[in-house]
Amino acid sequence: MIFRRSRNVRRHTEIDPDEIFIDSSNLPDFDTDQFEGQIEKPISKNSLRVAGFLFLCIAVLFTYKIATLQVISGERYKNISENNRLHHSLLFAERGAITDREGKLLAWNETDPSQAEFSLRSYTTDEGLHNLVGYVKYPKKDKFGFYYNTEFGGSDGVEKFFNDALSGDNGLKITETDALGKVLSESVVRPPKKGENISLSIHAGVQKAMYDSISEIARRSGFDGGAGVVMDIKTGQILVSVSNPEYDSNVLTDGKDVDKINGYLKNPYNPFLDRVSSGLYTPGSILKPIFAFAALAEGVITPEKQIESTGELKVPNPYKPGEFTVFKDWKAHGYTDMREAIAVSSDVYFYEIGGGFPGQKGLGIDNINKYSRLFGLGDSLEGNFFSGKKGVIPNPEWKKINFNGDAWRLGDTYNTAIGQYGFQISPIQAVRATAALANGGTVLTPTLLSEKTKQEFLNKSEPTESEYAAVHTENTKIPDAQPSWYTVVREGMRKTVTEGTMKGLNLPYVKVAGKSGTAQLGVTKKQINSWAVGFYPSEAPRYAFAVLLERGPNTATEGGTAAMALWLDWMNLYAHDYLVAN
């Protein structure tokens, strides 16, 4: 209380004027910017408490962070630290080479010093092989230099179908560096596994000759292009598979010639289309041998019975007496039996055995469909290299769908029996059916592999899906067929060459049996597809063939037969061994 009273007395003491007005000349030389000469107040306890709390929070935060880095996530950050000095890099596998049956390189790898990470793909410059072999797309980097696509991508043909076998497996290399980036050591953790080499059943020179023959006839006669396929009638091995026009595999793989690539994309004749398996065409008369066989199998007609062709078949209109529907033949053939009808390609003969006529029983559309499918027409060969579009075999259900419910008529059967109307097949289907006629009824599954590669795939314990499909083929046998039926048809096809519509293949150095076909296109019928199918040697068949010239003028004097003749001439000079019987 005493002290408290003393402080109160001091507070109320008066201040003299001389204590207030100090002579300014005697002021101390204070640096006021540094707060000199001012009364210092002690720091308040609240300020100390706030500062202490902040320091405590910082200490807790640092403690938590240290615990996280060293205890909770210590192992992960250790690995990150290791990886900062251990750099992983891909070792790209060498892609397998592709060769023909005689070992000629069709696709291989070349080292480019400016592109050291992986080899570049190169292809033969021979025409006629590119659509078959295909092309690849290289691994791709992002803008930071990292590969987001680490595989070669097979984009078409053999490169695509057998991509798993050709690709191999990439390897991995680890490089250790110090803080300055200096390489301390390198080690290969996983070596790359080279892709497998694939040997094809095709012959490169023979293939190019077929391409050149089709190109020449297309140029001379005004066709858009075409296709050619040659098959071993016993093994199903493909000797030739040509699509014309085609692209250049080197251009598409390199990807730098933008103008040429755009030219391919804009080409109205579609060089990307594999016409052998994915092109669908009206077959026309090349199906007549199949329907002749069907007529014998169903007891519709005997080989010796003759049918007269006056150049047309007049069918009475049941609703309008005295009126007729006329179905034209391409010329008047007179009386023909089965062998001659095949040789001269009599439409009237096949109208009657296909749809029937007074005094002549017909197959009917159901049997036409049945035997078309027995011979492999309308089969897309799922899983096979030559899988493509199924095509169309006309029938009443198909007509209802495509013609607004319109009913099937006798005239539709007539037109189907000569391979017209809505019929569409691919060249690979045509050659399989022809091979079945030549070998006595076995419809073969085509294979593009040489015997060497086929055995390598068969010996694998875990083949890929494409490898398995390529070697585990299933051929089918046409049931309950008499050998004499095939003999009659083959004799008719041989007569086609010696006396009929394919005299251009009546050659001195090989005996060919065949059937030509001219399919009219569109409403105006001013354009045609020209076919030639057959087999050789006719006395002991070894190979079947199907050649197509696509979309040419109906005035063309040369077509599929002429292209086949050019090819056989080349074969006689440079590959005669493939013309003789085994």
What string of DSSP letters covers 201-229?
SS-HHHHHHHHHHHHHHHHHHT--EEEEE
pLDDT score for 27 = 57
- Quick check: is 154 in a domain? yes
The CA distance from 195 to 171, in Å, is: 12
| CB within 8 Å of 176: residues ≥ 6 apart | 85, 86, 87, 183, 184, 185, 186
pLDDT score for 185 = 64
Q: Do 467 and 399 meet the contact criterion of CB atoms below 8 Å apart?
A: no
Q: 516 in helix, strand or coil? A: strand
Q: Are residues 323 and 452 in the same domain?
A: yes
- Quick check: is 68 in a domain? no
What tokens were used for 340? 């001659």
pTM beyond cutoff 0.75 = yes
Q: Are residues 171 and 270 in the same domain?
A: no
pLDDT score for 23 = 55
Q: Are residues 382 and 259 in the same domain?
A: yes
Range of the domain at 181: 88-199
Choosing from 144, 173, 199, the residue where a domain stops is 199
Question: Does the pLDDT of residue 8 top 60, yes or no?
Answer: no
Q: Do 303 and 487 meet the contact criterion of CB atoms below 8 Å apart?
A: no
Q: Are residues 368 and 399 in the same domain?
A: yes
pLDDT score for 500 = 96
The 3-state DSSP composition of the chain as helix, strand, coil percent (nearest 5) reads 40, 20, 40
Ranking 2-11, 61-70, 421-430, 493-502 by mean pLDDT, the lowest is: 2-11
Question: Does the pLDDT of residue 131 top 80, yes or no?
Answer: yes
Indicate the pLDDT class of residue 81, thresholds 50, 70 and 90: low
Q: Can you give the CATH number for the domain in which 116 is found?
A: 3.90.1310.10
The CA distance from 383 to 381, in Å, is: 6
Domain count, the chain: 2
| CB within 8 Å of 372: residues ≥ 6 apart | 287, 290, 378, 393
Q: Are residues 279 and 171 in the same domain?
A: no
- Quick check: is 456 in a domain? yes
HEC profile of 353-398: HHHCECCECCCHHHHHHHHHHHCCCCCCCCCCCCCCCCCECCCHHH
Which residue in 300, 322, 352, 284 sits closest to 485, CA to CA? Answer: 300
Q: Are residues 178 and 215 in the same domain?
A: no
Q: What's the rounded mean pLDDT across residues 169-194? A: 74
- Quick check: is 172 in a domain? yes
pLDDT score for 89 = 74
Indicate the pLDDT class of residue 1, thresholds 50, 70 and 90: very low
Q: Are residues 191 and 270 in the same domain?
A: no
| CB within 8 Å of 559: residues ≥ 6 apart | 217, 221, 223, 516, 518, 528, 530, 531, 532, 549, 552
Q: Do 437 and 485 meet the contact criterion of CB atoms below 8 Å apart?
A: no
Q: Do 409 and 416 meet the contact criterion of CB atoms below 8 Å apart?
A: no
Which residue in 157, 136, 122 sits closest to 242, CA to CA? Answer: 157
Which residue in 217, 218, 204 sits closest to 578, CA to CA? Answer: 204
Ranking 103-117, 324-338, 490-504 by mean pLDDT, the lowest is: 103-117
Choosing from 170, 199, 228, the residue where a domain stops is 199
The CA distance from 571 to 49, in Å, is: 105
Choosing from 166, 199, 232, the residue where a domain stops is 199
- Quick check: is 109 in a domain? yes
One-letter amino acid at 312 equals E
Indicate the pLDDT class of residue 107, thresholds 50, 70 and 90: very high
Q: 19 in helix, strand or coil? A: helix
pLDDT score for 2 = 46
One-letter amino acid at 515 equals K
Question: Does the pLDDT of residue 455 top 50, yes or no?
Answer: yes
Which residue in 14, 247, 30, 13 sits closest to 125, CA to CA? Answer: 247
Q: Are residues 287 and 336 in the same domain?
A: yes
Report the 10 Å Cβ neighbour count for 31: 8
Q: At what angle do helices 364-374 and 288-297 cross, to 10 degrees?
A: 110
The alpha carbon of residue 520 and the mean position of all alpha carbons in its chain are separated, in whole angstroms, by: 29
pLDDT score for 342 = 98
Q: What's the rounded mean pLDDT across residues 97-109? A: 96
What tokens were used for 96? 């397998």
Q: Do 222 and 553 meet the contact criterion of CB atoms below 8 Å apart?
A: yes
- Quick check: is 144 in a domain? yes
The CA distance from 106 to 126, in Å, is: 9
Q: What is the pLDDT of residues 204-261, one digit of tens each?
A: 999 999 999 999 999 999 999 999 999 999 999 999 999 999 999 999 999 999 999 9
pLDDT score for 57 = 87
One-letter amino acid at 543 equals Y
Sign of the CA dihedral with 276 first, then 278, 283, and 286 last: positive
The CA distance from 564 to 571, in Å, is: 10
H or E stretch at 543: strand 543-553
- Quick check: is 326 in a domain? yes
- Measured CA distances, 304 to 32, 279, 307, 371, 442 (Å): 136, 37, 10, 22, 26
Radius of gyration of the chain (CA): 42
Q: 475 in helix, strand or coil? A: coil
Q: What is the pLDDT of residues 249-288, one digit of tens each?
A: 999 999 999 999 999 999 999 999 999 999 999 999 999 9
Q: Are residues 192 and 232 in the same domain?
A: no
| CB within 8 Å of 506: residues ≥ 6 apart | 497, 498, 512
- Quick check: is 554 in a domain? yes
Q: Are residues 140 and 244 in the same domain?
A: no
pLDDT score for 151 = 82
pLDDT score for 84 = 55
Greater pLDDT, 540 or 152: 540
What tokens were used for 557? 């004097």
The CA distance from 276 to 548, in Å, is: 9
What tokens were used for 123? 């292809």
Q: Are residues 139 and 188 in the same domain?
A: yes
Using CB atoms within 10 Å of the CB of residue 61, give its burial: 0 to 12 exposed, 13 to 18 middle, 19+ buried: exposed
Question: Does the pLDDT of residue 86 top 90, yes or no?
Answer: no
Q: Do 117 and 92 meet the contact criterion of CB atoms below 8 Å apart?
A: yes
The CA distance from 136 to 122, in Å, is: 10
Q: Can you give the CATH number for the domain in which 554 is found?
A: 3.40.710.10
| Average predicted confidence (pLDDT) for the chain | 89
Length of the chain: 582
303 DSSP assignment: T
Q: Are residues 403 and 517 in the same domain?
A: yes
Q: Do 197 and 96 meet the contact criterion of CB atoms below 8 Å apart?
A: yes
Indicate the pLDDT class of residue 146, thresholds 50, 70 and 90: confident
Question: Does the pLDDT of residue 450 top 90, yes or no?
Answer: yes
Report the 10 Å Cβ neighbour count for 32: 8
Q: Do 233 and 431 meet the contact criterion of CB atoms below 8 Å apart?
A: no
Q: At what angle do helices 288-297 and 427-439 cross, to 10 degrees?
A: 40
